Amino acid sequence: MSADDQILEEFTSKEYEFGWTVDLEADEAPKGLNEDIIRFISAKKEEPEWLLEWRLKAYRQWKEMVEPEWANVVYPKVNYQDIIYYSAPKQTAKPKSLDEVDPELIATFEKLGISLTEQKRLTGVAVDAVIDSVSVATTFKDTLAELGIIFCSFSEAVKDHPELIKKHIGSVVPANDNYFAALNSAVFSDGSFCYIPKGVRCPMELSTYFRINAANTGQFERTLIVAEEGSYVSYLEGCTAPMRDENQLHAAVVEIKAAKDAEVKYSTVQNWYPGDKEGKGGIYNFVTKRGICEGDNSKISWTQVETGSAVTWKYPSCILKGDNSQGEFYSVAVTNNFQQADTGTKMIHIGKNTKSRIVSKGISAGKSQNSYRGQVHVMKRAEGARNFSQCDSLLMGDKCGAHTFPYIDIENKSAQVEHEATTSKIGEDQIFYCQQRGIDEESAVALIVNGYAKEVLKQLPMEFAVEAQKLLALTLEGSVG
Amino acid sequence: MEKFAGTSIVESLETRFKDFESGLNGQSKSPVHEIRRNALDTLVKKGLPGPKHEEYKFTNLTRAIEKNFDLTAPLSPFSLGSEVVKSALIKGLDAHNIVFLNGRFSPEYSDEIDVEGLEINSLEAALKEDPEKVESLFNSEADFKEDAFVALNTAFAQHGLVIEIAARAIIEKPIALYFIGDSSKDKLVYNVRNLVRAGKFAEATIIEKFDCFGDDQSLTNVVNEFSVAENAHLKYFKIENDSDNAYHISNTHVSQQSVSNFSANTFALNGAMVRNNLNIKLENEGIETYMNGLYLLDGKTHVDNHTVVDHKMPNCYSNELYKGIMDDSSRGVFNGKIFVRQDAQQTNAFQSNKNILLSDKATVNTKPQLEIWADDVKCSHGCTTGQLDEDALFYLQTRGIQKEKARAILLTAFASDVLENIANEAIKTYLEEIITERLEK
């Protein structure tokens, strides 16, 4: 118990830990969105002609689209002309090693708990750090390169491996897939690219850290992970943003491709600034994440811990195309105060004997609204498909809401699909039992919530699991009593 | 997007409404007619639901109507003999029988009812004799703004029943409503509106059965409004075992007062396209609600069950069980919503939907939905889709039961969960026979 006590104590005085800003000199585009801005971004990044064309096409399609309204979230509409679409920390020349990186930047990441230099030496996790819109540093690149693994920022990949990018970009999430994906495709500024060659098992966790720093900017990063035949990679993503009164937009796209026998494990701890207690400010997190199990026996696993953002709209999905492929989705979504989350997954079974598993644990507190929205679709040819879904909701307080919208569409008679959902609150008897053992109420709640979310948390890599547990306790701070 | 679906239908309806209005002689200023006009306005403004409409995503009734029906055609006469009418009645059921022929009340085939505390009138008669009562019930539960087919019914339904069960009246025999259609000469389209009020401590059972005879298509659009007062017990059965050409839309809207008990049992066994909306509002405390449903489909039958149970107040209980067996190229759609409002603490709400697919061309689309704003509740839903248990099948075969027979036994067992709760033996036996026969075929 002492660990939990410690966590609570550690956080009692804090609201949002990562809410500071740093005075980084930034290179910014003017506000607003038009074809010139896209040309500006593309030129800044010295992109090839085809990519600019691809962006412009996406932009033209985006202009024709309408913002989706079906999600169970309410928020003032975003003024897309009032956003700065490109902001990069100013650097004179491209750093070759960490020693040349702006010391202010290094300090920023140390504050975030990702000290790039230390990380490199101690933990053996390769990190790609993206601030505002631009990747600022990637560690362990050389070690990975020896194995043929490419792990770098998206813009570097465009320069160094254009053939790979051209082949895979937009192949899982097409540019016109949805409103926010189209927006991202038009204006994305950076992100991570990861390529695991045939038969290689990535020896370390790959990790990207996103941070929005400048005001009025939107962050539009794009992640592309390609796992060739028989390879394996575990990928982590983390994010924070400063506390600001206005809402900021984050519209990312993540694409994963898994070839035959490949396995990709993608974990996120999403901790964007959720807004203050009155629901002012916070990040709009409108993200499109999708993976395709192209080859037989491939596997994609999504694990997410969602604690931040004012509004979340996010459905990491798996297209199970290869025979015997597997998709997994583990999620803990916590909302407090005025946060709203509409999140879930889609499992599209196309291949034979495909399996999917969904475990979603929602926790709502304060005046927040938490929705699970998911689809399990078994296509006609998906002989022997199997799905198990479990979505539980925990309500803390009588002013919050928990909603479940599962869509289950089955077109094959041999499919076995099960879905179950429960909604409940923390039992008074459970709390009483803890109290009777000398555990105070707040620690008891943290203990019970951690137990409730354990099935998902245990899917996370070690370092992340610890962070996630702390975050859970922090997000629910003061929601009892 | 959906606004423009069914434009041609809506335009034709506007003309028809004007004709209908001019034939009313003075009644056009009555409050009921005012509601009808508002309903038509809503329909004109919103149109019929298209394929993008979330509630009608899998069931494109608008296209089916556009393709097959002329809603402005006059009601065709009923020309079938008494043999046919009698064949539609449930055998062995001792009930107060009320018969509708092509959507019109038929005094000839209906029983004379002289039971204390039970008053049954046709909607036409009630509008003339007791307009105030109709006004208090008409449009009291169903909201035409929410559903285009309720609006259509509200604007045009001239026929139906007004049933009033007095306080403390216990009606022993079920009230059986038979809707018999004749589409042998022409297509048949009709709207029916039933208004039912069960007084305090009253008890009654209402059965609805739909049959259409003939080779042409038929479309029925039924709206039921039930208000269940304090401590009343109302049981409702709906049996839909219609011909392959029958399109059927039904909206049953119920409000329950404190400590009342309502159960709905919906059986969809055949038809071309069937849509059942069941909306139950729990307005006060201590209410019990049961929703049972069975859909047993083959051929090209398409059945869509949408249910809503809205917990508004504390200490209520609701339980829902819908089961489906889909064969051939049939499609079963289920959408169950449970709302638990902020005040509805200590709610217990359960929902279960189970499906079996017997053919690769059959489809099931299910969406069990929970929306909860209160924290001290116990709510759960479960939903499964699968096929027969191979082990169970094998076990029965090892005992010398032929595969076909074993399969029928297992399917009957699957369906019998829904039948189990039926208290009335005659109804239960009747349904069991149909289901066993269907499954053994």
Q: Ranked by mean pLDDT, which of A100-104, A110-114, A398-402 comes out on top?
A: A398-402
Instruction: Write out residues 100-139 of B within 8 Å (CB-CB) of A.
Output: none
Taking each helix axis as running N to C, give the angle between helix A49-64 and helix A35-44, from 0 to 180 degrees, rounded to the nearest 10. 150
Report the share of chain B in percent with pLDDT over 70: 98
Asked if B358 and B389 count as a contact pair (C-beta separation under 8 A), the reply is: no
Lowest mean pLDDT among A204-213, A281-290, A422-431, A470-479: A470-479
CA dihedral (B340, B341, B342, B347) in degrees, to 10, reads -40
Is the pLDDT reported for residue B251 higher than 70?
A: yes
pLDDT score, position B153: 93
Q: What does the pLDDT look like over A375-387, one tens digit per residue?
A: 999 999 999 999 9
What pLDDT is stored for residue A192 in this prediction? 84
Report how many Cβ contacts below 8 Å link chain A to chain B: 114
Name the more confident of A79 and A464: A79
Please determine, for residue B24, whether its predicted confidence score (pLDDT) is greater than 60: yes
pLDDT for B338: 94
Taking the Cβ of residue B259 and every Cβ of chain A, the question of whether any pair is shorter than 8 Å is answered with no
Asked if A420 lies within 8 A of B380 by C-beta distance, the reply is yes
Tell how many helices (H) and how many strands (E) occur in chain B. 10, 19
Whether the CB-CB separation of B345 and A393 falls below 8 Å is answered with no
Write down the pLDDT at residue A33.
84
Inspect the interface and report whether the beta carbons of B383 and A408 lie closer than 8 Å: yes
Q: Do B378 and A424 touch (CB under 8 A)?
A: yes
User: Over the stretch A240-278, which tens digit does the pLDDT of each residue have?
Assistant: 666 666 677 888 899 999 999 999 999 888 877 788 777
Q: How would DSSP label each residue in A68-129? A: ---SS---PPP-TTSSB--EEE--SS--SSGGGS-HHHHHHHHHTT--HHHHHHHT--EEEE
What is the structure's pLDDT at A423?
Answer: 85
Where is pLDDT greater, at A222 or A18? A222
Q: How confident is the prediction for chain A on average, in pLDDT? A: 81
Which candidate in A413, A417, A430 is best for mutational testing of the B interface (most B CBs within 10 A)?
A413
Q: What is the mean pLDDT of residues B50-67?
A: 87
Q: Is the pLDDT of residue A467 over 90?
A: no
Query: pLDDT class for A137, splitting at 50, 70, 90?
Result: low
Phi, psi of A467 (to 5 degrees): -60, -45
Closest Cβ–Cβ partner in B360, B380, B383 for A422: B380
B373 interface with A at CB cutoff 8 Å: yes
**B52 CB neighbour count, 10 Å cutoff:** 10
* pLDDT recorded at residue A216: 58
pLDDT band at residue A480 using 50, 70 and 90 as cut-offs: low
pLDDT of residue A13: 36
User: Given a cut of 80, is residue B243 above it in pLDDT?
Assistant: yes
pLDDT at B159 over 70: yes
Average pLDDT over residues A37-47: 86
Running DSSP on this structure, what letter comes out for residue B289?
E
Measured between alpha carbons, how far is B434 from B424 in angstroms, rounded to an integer? 16
pLDDT, average across residues B280-290: 95
Weakest-pLDDT range from B27-36, B173-182, B272-281: B27-36
What pLDDT is stored for residue A336 in this prediction?
A: 85
Per-residue buried b or exposed e for B59-89, using 16+ beta carbons within 10 Å of the residue's own CB = bbbbebbbebbebbeeebebebeeebbeebb
Percent of chain A whose predicted confidence (pLDDT) is above 90? 33
Model confidence at A451, pLDDT cuts 50, 70, 90, reads confident
For the ranges A214-228, A342-356, B377-391, the one whose mean pLDDT is highest:
A342-356
Q: What's the average model confidence in pLDDT over A186-198?
A: 88
Instruction: Give pLDDT, residue A4.
Output: 45
Which pLDDT tens digit goes with each residue over B413-436? Answer: 999 999 988 989 999 999 999 999
Contact at 8 Å (CB) between B1 and B59?
Answer: no
CA atoms within 13 A on the CB side of A87: 21
* Closest Cβ–Cβ partner in A403, A412, A417 for B372: A403
Residue-level pLDDT at B73: 80
Per-residue pLDDT band for A23 (boundaries 50, 70, 90) equals: low
Taking the CA of residue A445 and the nearest CA in chain B, the distance in Å comes to 15
Bridge partners for A410 per DSSP: A378, B364
